[in-house]
Structure 1
Amino acid sequence: MGSLTEANLKKLAGARSFERGRGYLDAVSGVEVGDGWVTASVHGTERYEVELTLDAPGGLSGECDCPYGLEGNFCKHLVALGLTVLAQRESLPRQRKAARERAQDLDGWLSALSKDELLDLLRQQISEDRQLRRRLELRAASARGDLTTVRSHIRGLLDIGPFAQYGYVEYADARAYAEQAEQAVSAIAALTGSGRAADAITLAREAMRLLAEAVESVDDSDGRLGQIGADLADAHLDACRAARPDPEELARWLVGHALGDLDDGLTDIDPLDYEEVLGEAGMAVLRKRAVEAWRGNRRGWAEKYLMERLAKAGGDVDAVIAVHAADLSPSGHTHLVIARELDAARRPDEALRWAERGIGEARDARDLADVDTALVDYLCDRYAQAGRLADAVALRRDHFGARRTLLAYQQLRAAARVADCWPAEREGALALLRVDAEEQQQGWYGGPVLLDALLDDKDVDAAWEAATQTGAHDRQWLTLADKARSTRPADALGVYLRLAEPLTKQTGNTVYEQLVSLLLSIRDCHRRLGTEDELAVYVTALRTAQKRKRNLMRLMDEQGL
């Protein structure tokens, strides 16, 4: 009980869910207290089943079948149940004691029953509980080795038909389907445990195919089928370890699974997990089939991934490079991957050549604008480490010439300063940006990159002159005004007044906050200019025109406007 406190509920749920949980106290019903747990129903959008575990190893925990709870969150419904229990905390020890006594009484009663009496009781439960009957039927078929019946049951458990409307299992029914699918995986694992691992292998593979077909028609937003697929893969591996199937056949199946339609991410089987089962002969077949598949489709993602995994596992860096080199990206990204592999293998000279090759091929294609910037960064870093500063500047210059972004400008500036040649490089870079500005070419956020570069250089006067000549985005004008306000208050005032005007015709708290921020800047300009009287006239007129906007008036009052 010590872990069940309001503080812990708030810590687990977060402040927002905790407060929302308070509003659900009247929606809690059917509270049942066990020895260490409490369950109830909470009526929200739907009726949800919730359970609090009071004595978990990590402290208080809970589960709820609402969408938020199924994602593993401590939801408002759990908060509501926790607060309900806390409201009757004095009686909780007594209720827990009564639950223990009931469990002991039930266990004592069952233990005293004869075999026939227990069988009668079980048969009665089977007749009333269809799910229990199915589970026990499946266990019975597994125990007697009736593969036909087990296969039939597993097919039924993985059939979406009973849950699907118009051929699709909606989110509301997906959990019930997943619980049924879990029974199929449990049955397959049970076959291995009962000495029928070979049968488990056969059924696991069939179940993978059925599950892969089913997932296309199930809303698996909670990812439960993904976990079931992983459990199914584990069941298959366990069965292979127990049965020791023909290693060559297993190798062929693993490659086919990795490259075929069943490799949908659900089972996510890694052939290397089977290395001990495959042995040398099986691994040899695995490698051979993987190489053949890759040579037949060098650009196939699955083929490349399998080849790369096998090559890395074998420590064959050259094979890894060959896989990547067979499908080089025009952006140079693949060259970068190869360079990093070679760096990891302590072959830096080859790594440098591959990086330079990637840049060279991009230059030859006149496509340096689309080159992977990480490759440019990598090569410039290598040049800097080797003291090849002129080469680093040249690459940054070419990259900037192709892209002409603020980031490329900043990177050129950093490299040129290290090489002590920034003034000359800056002149050339700004000349390119002036051409772009005159041609009205804008940067990513709007407005000429020239202004962003000059502002980044803290050359405010040059930036103001450029903005006046070529125009600027409002974002740039605002930045300019903020930086120039102390030296050019009259110019800055004109910018602020122009930017404020359209905001007076809009509504919304965000707009009001922007407008008040501009008003504060306007006030500062007037104070610098000694024209406070003009400010008073402006603010009075603004208040008269905007008086119905109560939130705006409140914000202005708070700032003394």
Structure 2
Amino acid sequence: MRGLTEANLRTLAGSRSFERGLGYLDAVSGVEVGDGWVTASVHGTERYEVELTLDGPGGLAGECDCPYGLEGNFCKHLVALGLTVLTQRESLPQQRKAARERAQNLDGWLSALSKDELLALLREQIDEDRQLRRRLELRAASARGDLAAVRSRIRELLDIGPFAQYGYVEYADARAYADQAGQAVFAIGALTGSGRPADAIPLAREAMRLLAEAMESVDDADGWIGQTGADLAEAHLDACRAARPDPEELARWLVGHALGGTDDGLTGIDPLDYKDVLGEEGMATLRKLAVEAWRGNRRGWAEKYLMERLAKAGGDIDALIAVHAADLSPNGHTHLVIARELDAAGRSDEALSWAERGIRDVRDLAAVDTALVDHLCERYAQAGRLADAVAVRRDHFGARRSLLAYQQLRAAAQTADCWPAERGGALALLRADAERRQRGRYGGPVLVDALLDDKDFDAAWQAATQTGAHDRQWHTLADQARATRPADALTVYLRLAEPLTKQTGNTVYEQLVALLLNIRDCHRRLGTEEEFALHVTTLRTAQKRKRNLMRLMDEHGL
């Protein structure tokens, strides 16, 4: 109980859910205390079942079947139950003791029943609980080896019909469907455990197909069906390890499953996980079939991925390079992947050649994978080929002409001790763009941003005056010029502030007040404080109905 406190409830839920939980205290009913847990129903939009674990390995925890709780969150319903339990703190030890005694009494009573009495009790429960009856029917069919019955029951369990009102399983019902599908996985595993793994293999494969088909009509945002698919794949692998099927047949099935496209990654089967089952003969067949499939469709994603896995597993770097080289991306990304693989294999000269080829093969350097440019320049720098690094950066900047490309060119040129010469050419390109009114990604000429980044503020101001600039750039220019050119900065601030006076909203008010503080600083530097006082008085008169703005100005002494 030490972990159950208001503070811990607030920490787990967050302030918003905690405060909302306070409004649900009267909605808690049916509180049941167990040994280390408490359950109840909480009536909200619907009735939700909640459970608090009081002293688990991770401390206080809880589960709720409301949508927010199913996402793994500690919801308002759990807060309401926790606060309700806290009001019963004094009686809780006695309730937990009573729960332990009830469990012990039940266990003792069941142990004392005869076989016939236990069967009668079980039959009574089967009559009342349809799901329990179906689970036991499936286990019985598995135990007696009735494959037809097991197959029929598995198909029923994987049918989405009972959970789909309009042919689709909604998010709220996905977990219930996954729990039912999990019974099919259990049945397949039970066949293997009872000494019939050869029968479990085809059932597992059929279940994979049915689950993949069902997945197309299920909102599996939380991954419950995905986990069931992974469990099903594990059951198939266990059955194969126990049954030792024909290695060539298994290899053909694995390749077909990997390339069929129907699974869509649901089971996550990796053919290499079956290496011990396949043996040398099966692995040879697997490689042969994979190569044939890849040669028939060198650009197929599944074919390439399977070939990559086999090549990496076998340490065949040349086969891996051949797979990548058969489908080179136009932006140079594949060249980069090949270069990195060769670098990892210690073949640095070949890696460098592939990186250089990537730059040559790209038709438009503006669209090149920038990671390839970075990789090549890094390798040039390591080899002491600084001039080559500058040349690559120069070409890339010439094609892209962004601030980042300018910064990267500057860094390379400074390392090579040739920045003054490079800078002139780069700025000439940016000046031509500015004169053609070409803007950067965030508005305004890149020329102004580049000069600002160079801390050449006078040149940046002159460029902005000549070619124009974005308000963001003018603001930065004014901030930099305020100490030495307060009159120029004041003109900019007043222009930027004027449209804000016609807008509303706290964000706008914060921006306006920040500008007013800068305007005040400029007037102080110019010795025109009285002019600023008149400006503020006029502004207050015109904006007096904006109470939040008035409050914010008061806070800053405006």
- Given the two structures, how large is their TM-score scaled by the length of structure 1? 0.98
Secondary structure at 2:464's aligned position in 1?
Answer: helix
Task: Report deviation, 1:182.
Answer: 1.3
- Alpha-carbon distance in structure 2 between the residues aligned to 1:418 and 1:175: 58
Cα drift, residue 73 of structure 1? 2.3
Q: String of CA shifts for 1:106-148, please: whole Å, max 9, x gaps.
A: 1111111111111111111111101101101111111110111
Q: Residue in 2 aligned with 1:390?
A: 387
Counterpart AA for 1:356: E
What corresponds to 1:35 in structure 2? 35
State the AA in 1 paired with 2:148: T
What is the match of residue 494 of structure 2? 497
1:17/1:75 contact within 8 Å kept: yes
Partners of 2:84 and 2:414 in 1: CA distance = 67
Q: Which of residues 457, 466, 487 is equivalent to 2:484? A: 487
CA RMSD, Structure 1 to Structure 2 (Å): 1.1
Residues 276-328 of structure 1: CA deviation (Å, up to 9, x unaligned): 11111111111111111111111111111110001000011111111100111
Partner Cα separation in structure 2 for residue 551 and residue 141 of structure 1: 74
Does residue 283 of the first structure (1) align with residue 283 of the second (2)? yes
Q: What is the match of residue 519 of structure 1?
A: 516
Check the 8 A contact 2:393/2:405 in 1, yes or no: yes
**1:508 and 2:501 correspond:** no
Q: For 2:49 and 2:118, locate their aligned partners in 1 and report how far apart those are by CA, in whole Å.
A: 30
Q: For the Cα contact (< 8 Å) 2:27–2:43, is it kept in 1?
A: yes
Name the counterpart of 1:554.
Answer: 551
Aligned twin of 2:64:
64
Q: Aligned partner of 1:279: which letter?
A: G
Q: How many angstroms apart in 1 are the aligned matches of 2:487 and 2:47? A: 65
Q: Which residue of 2 aligns with 1:319?
A: 319
TM-aligned CA deviation for residue 202 of structure 1: 0.9
- Describe how 1:240-279 pairs up with structure 2 within 5 A: 240-279=240-279
Alignment deviations for residues 25-70 of structure 1 (CA, whole Å, 9 cap, x no partner): 2222111001111111122332211111123122222211122222
Report what 1:169 is aligned to: 169
Q: 1:104 Cα deviation (Å)? A: 1.0
Aligned residues: 558
Contact 2:21–2:79 under 8 Å retained in 1 = yes
Distance 2:549 2:12 in 1: 38
The answer to whether the 8 A contact 2:513-2:552 is kept is yes
Taking the aligned partners of 2:496 and 2:11, their CA distance within structure 1 comes to 45
Conserved? CA contact 2:41–2:47, under 8 Å: yes
Q: 1:423 aligns with which of 420, 442, 466?
A: 420
- Which residue is 2:530 aligned to? 533
Shift of 1:265: 1.6
| Aligned-pair CA distance for 1:11 | 3.1
Aligned to 1:112: 112
Answer whether contact 2:29 2:42 (CA < 8 A) is retained. yes
- 8 Å CA contact 2:209–2:263 kept in 1: the answer is no
SS in 2 for 1:62: strand
Match of 2:431 in 1: 434
| Helix, strand or coil at the partner of 2:59 | coil
CA distance in 2, matches of 1:383, 1:116: 84
Structure 2: gaps of 5 or more residues:
none
The Cα offsets for residues 380-434 of structure 1, whole Å up to 9 and x where unpaired, read as 1111111111111111100000000000000000011111111110000000000
Tell me the residue number matched to 1:152. 152
Aligned counterpart, 1:130: 130
Q: Which residue of 2 aligns with 1:205?
A: 205
Q: Following TM superposition, by how much is the alpha carbon of 1:9 offset from its aligned partner in structure 2, in angstroms? A: 2.4
Q: Equivalent residues in 2 for 1:426-465 (5 A)?
A: 426-465=423-462
Match 1:413 to one of 398, 405, 410: 410
Q: Provide the rounded CA distance (Å) in 1 between the counterparts of 2:357 and 2:231.
A: 45
Deviations 1:477-522 (A, max 9, x none): 1111111111111111111111111111111111111111111111
Which amino acid in structure 2 is aligned with residue 377 of structure 1?
A: D
Shift of 1:154: 0.7
Structure 2 partner of 1:339: 339
- In the aligned structure 1, how far is the partner of 2:49 from the partner of 2:263? 35
**For 1:247 and 1:7, how far apart are their aligned partners in 2?**
60
1:342/1:350 contact within 8 Å kept: yes
* Larger mean Cα displacement after TM superposition, 179-188 or 75-84: 75-84
Q: Give the structure 2 partner of residue 233 of structure 1.
A: 233
Q: Any conservation in 2 of the 1:204–1:236 contact (CA below 8 Å)?
A: yes
Q: CA deviation at 1:559?
A: 0.4
Q: Is the 8 A contact 2:380 2:389 kept in 1?
A: yes
Query: What is the CA–CA distance in structure 2 between the aligned matches of 1:11 and 1:36, rounded to whole Å?
Result: 20
Deviation of 1:219 (Å): 1.4
Structure 2 CA distance, aligned partners of 1:221 and 1:359? Answer: 41
| Aligned ranges 1:7-86 → 2 under 5 Å | 7-86=7-86
Aligned to 1:473: 470
Residue 175 of structure 1: CA displacement?
A: 2.4
Moved more, 55-64 or 314-323: 55-64
Aligned partner of 2:392: which letter? L
Q: Provide the rounded CA distance (Å) in 2 between the counterparts of 1:42 and 1:506.
A: 46
The percent of aligned pairs where both chains have the same amino acid is 86
Q: Which amino acid aligns with 1:209?
A: R
What's the secondary structure of 1:52's corresponding residue?
strand
Q: CA deviation at 1:15?
A: 3.5
Contact 1:335 1:355 in 2 (8 A): yes
Residue 268 of structure 1: SS of its match in structure 2? coil
Work out the CA distance in 2 between the residues paired with 1:155 and 1:472. Answer: 67
- How many Å apart are 1:190 and its aligned residue? 1.3
Cα deviation, residue 79, structure 1: 2.0
Whether the 8 Å CA contact 1:158–1:210 is kept in 2: the answer is yes
Secondary structure at 1:50's aligned position in 2? Answer: strand
2:241 aligned partner, one-letter code: R
User: In the alignment, which residue of structure 1 is the partner of 2:194?
Assistant: 194
**Does the 8 A contact of 2:201 with 2:240 survive in 1?**
yes
> Could you tell me which residue of structure 2 aligns to residue 361 of structure 1?
361
Query: Is the contact made by 1:208 and 1:262 (CA closer than 8 Å) also made in structure 2?
Result: no
For 1:286, the aligned partner's letter is: L
Deviates more, 1:53-62 or 1:216-225: 53-62
**What amino acid sits opposite 2:263 in the alignment?**
D
Distance 1:494 1:388 in 2: 49
Indicate the SS of the match to 2:30: strand
Please list, as runs of the form range in 1=range in 2, the aligned pairs for 1:287-302 lying within 5 A after superposition.
287-302=287-302
